[in-house]
Amino acid sequence: MQKHSHALDWMSAHPEEVDKHGGKWVAVTDGGIVASGDSLPEVSSVLRRKGMKLDDVMVMKVPRKDEEMLAFT
């Protein structure tokens, strides 16, 4: 988790941006959301087109307003 602490910091500081992606998968860096899609393969494809890898980002599904967030450590 330490690897992605800056991405988590960005998400905490910009909840309004994160909320715009409710129900979507997102890839986040310390600079913000760099990819968004309906599925993990879709996000992975966007990242590849940008020359990035899943290892370069933190990936999560943003819950819709009517969903709860699940986290695994």
- Start-to-end CA distance of the chain, whole Å, equals 8
Q: Is residue 73 part of a domain?
A: no
Q: Is residue 72 part of a domain?
A: no
Domain with 7 in it:
2-61
Q: What is the pLDDT of residues 36-65, one digit of tens each?
A: 999 999 999 999 999 999 888 999 999 988
Backbone angles phi, psi at 61, to 5 degrees: -95, 125
Q: What is the four-CA torsion angle of 5, 58, 48, 44, rounded to 10 degrees?
A: 180
Q: Is residue 67 part of a domain?
A: no
Closest CA to 64 of 26, 9, 34, 30: 26
Q: Is residue 26 part of a domain?
A: yes
With cut-offs at 50, 70 and 90, classify the pLDDT of residue 66.
Answer: confident
Q: For the chain, what is the domain count?
A: 1
Q: Is residue 13 part of a domain?
A: yes
Residue 30 pLDDT > 70: yes
